[in-house]
Amino acid sequence: MSKLIRSIAVTLLVLGYPLLVYMAITNGVSWIFPLVVGAIFFKRFRAGGDSSLFYGLIALALFCGAIFFQTISAKMIPVLIHTSMFLVFYGSLRTDSSLIERFARLDFPELPPGIAEYCRKVTWLWSGFFALNILFCSALAIWADDAFWALYNGAIIYLLLGTMMVSEYVWRRMSYPWLEVPPLKQSMMNIIKNGHTVWNSK
């Protein structure tokens, strides 16, 4: 239950982050966010491991941002999220099974011929999507109006994500009419219930 509560809390924080940052900026306390997120990365750095140096550098950058570039550093946090997603999707392309293929196996444990190749192409597409968002969100953090930054990261990005998912679902049904594709709602529920097995094995 504690893991579920923690997951819900993290999800709500990610969804509400742009609005919280916008409110913090208008009240002159935007330094709070890079400080808190920096502390999280610093904890990962203290834990050690192969990526400890990476976590340490991110923590140092955020701590410096909290002092010298408060607003920009607070607005750069979504870039870290898109970067992590890009690394997960792109990194899976260097393995035998792409990330989308692993999700597809939640519906089809034994994939029909040609589907693995299709999943790899879709994984490339998602990798490109997050790569573009890294660049775009970086530009928004530096040059965009605070209100538009909050609108994009708090609403527009989720519309784009939803459009990508629905479009891929429709294209899949059109490209493979013989494939018994489960309804979109069923696939989404399957991901929600069992998707953790994919993330844990990435």
Structure confidence at residue 195 (pLDDT) = 64
95: left (phi over 0), alpha (psi -120 to 50) or beta: beta
How many of the other CB atoms lie within 10 Å of CB of 180?
8
Chain-centroid distance of CA 11 in Å reads 11
Which pair of structure tokens corresponds to residue 156? 């527009």
What's the CA gap between 154 and 131, in Å, rounded?
Answer: 18
Question: Residues with Cβ < 8 Å from 17, sequence gap 6 or more?
Answer: 33, 77, 78, 153, 154
Which pair of structure tokens corresponds to residue 114? 């040609």
Structure confidence at residue 1 (pLDDT) = 46
Contact 190, 106 (CB under 8 A): yes
Structure confidence at residue 51 (pLDDT) = 83
Which residue is associated with the tokens 């550098």? 57
Question: Residues with Cβ < 8 Å from 191, sequence gap 6 or more?
Answer: 103, 106
Could you list the mean pLDDT of each consecutive 10-residue stretch along the chain, which spans 202 residues?
61 81 94 94 88 91 94 94 94 90 84 89 96 97 95 96 91 83 74 66 56
CA distances for 142 relative to 20, 64, 68, 79, 180, angstroms: 18, 16, 14, 12, 46
Structure confidence at residue 2 (pLDDT) = 59
- For residue 140, give the amino acid letter: L
What's the CA gap between 158 and 107, in Å, rounded?
Answer: 24
Which pair of structure tokens corresponds to residue 172? 């899949």
Contact 101, 116 (CB under 8 A): yes
What's the CA gap between 4 and 10, in Å, rounded?
Answer: 10
Structure confidence at residue 60 (pLDDT) = 94
Contact 24, 33 (CB under 8 A): yes
